[in-house]
Amino acid sequence: MDHSGAETASIAHRVFTFEENNTLPSLTVSIPEVLDPQYGMYVWPCAVVLAQYLWTHAEELRNKTVLELGAGVSLPGVVAAKCGAKVILSDSAELPHCLENCRRSCEANRLPDVPVLGLTWGEISPDLVLLPALDIILGSDVFYEPEDFENVIVTAAFLLRKNPKAQFWTTYQERSADWSIEALLHKWKVRCVHVPLEVFNANRAHLAGSALPGNHTVQMMVITLRTEDS
Ligand SMILES: C[S@@+](CC[C@H](N)C(=O)[O-])C[C@H]1O[C@@H](n2cnc3c(N)ncnc32)[C@H](O)[C@@H]1O
């Protein structure tokens, strides 16, 4: 199968509308999805939940520098950019079609200046080392393949060590009761706090006008550097 890009694939736009709140009007974004069974080609339920978390933290995001890891079609990154963050999107350096998807999502939402980088989890590449100072790292459904868990945490821990005040905001889908990242978090000296979905009004089967969360069990975590007293 040819995964080289949009010229050969069918694209459909999925629209998400985040509800107005006390201070902000509603936000509508349109995400081009590629009709292809590959992981990074369409929006995953975790992405809608993370995007809802971002929307409820919109004020906090303004002017922050935000990096999205494993962005795929980048719903969270696009929402963060619409909230006024300076966003950098990334996906595996080995998957150029996913990097193309990031660019396409930016174009569809009139975000011409968002850089897209190839960052492969676990690889300390020049692009990773040369990133600017970060405030927030995003990762939606990046903990889906147990053999990659440590590489994701290595990348996040590297970035948190370089940016000790930064936070890694991540959502994961419970796919197996056996999977756990606790030991890896301990090994790489980071800590995690679970954020209940009801805190940001995401405990719903429908979010942002989408039925994507459905009955999937999605969890939200904030991962930070472990300090002496944490
Ligand atoms: C389950 S998809 C989630 C995509 C998107 N974040 C979402 O929630 O809609 C996992 C993403 O991780 C990316 N990915 C897989 N392996 C990777 C690696 N080793 N380094 C960086 N990104 C990777 C895939 O290309 C894909 O975009």
pLDDT (0 to 100) of residue 228: 73
Q: Whose CA is nearest to atom 14 of ligand 1?
A: 70
Tens digits of residue pLDDT in 23-57: 889 999 999 998 766 666 889 999 999 999 999 99
Q: Which residue has the tokens 């929402």?
A: 79
Q: Which residue has the tokens 């349109």?
A: 30
Q: What domains does the chain contain, in order, with CATH numbers?
A: 6-225 (3.40.50.150)
Q: How confident is the model at residue 3 (pLDDT cuts 50, 70, 90)?
A: very low
Please determine, for residue 5, whether its predicted confidence score (pLDDT) is greater than 90: no
Q: What is the rounded average pLDDT of the residues 105-134?
A: 97
CA–CA distances in Å: residue 181 to residues 92, 169, 171: 21, 15, 13
Listed ranges 14-23, 68-77, 170-179, 220-229; the one with the highest mean pLDDT: 68-77
Q: Is ligand 1 within 6 A of the CB of residue 220?
A: no
E strands along 22-82, which residues? Answer: 27-34, 65-69
Q: How confident is the model at residue 227 (pLDDT cuts 50, 70, 90)?
A: confident
Tens digits of residue pLDDT in 146-183: 999 999 999 999 999 999 999 999 999 998 888 889 99
Q: Whose CA is nearest to atom 20 of ligand 1?
A: 120
- Closest among 210, 33, 46 to 139, alpha carbons compared: 46
- Mutation test of ligand 1: which of 36, 73, 78, 92 has the most ligand atoms closer than 8 Å to its C-beta? 92
pLDDT (0 to 100) of residue 101: 93
Please determine, for residue 207, whether its predicted confidence score (pLDDT) is greater than 70: yes
pLDDT (0 to 100) of residue 45: 95
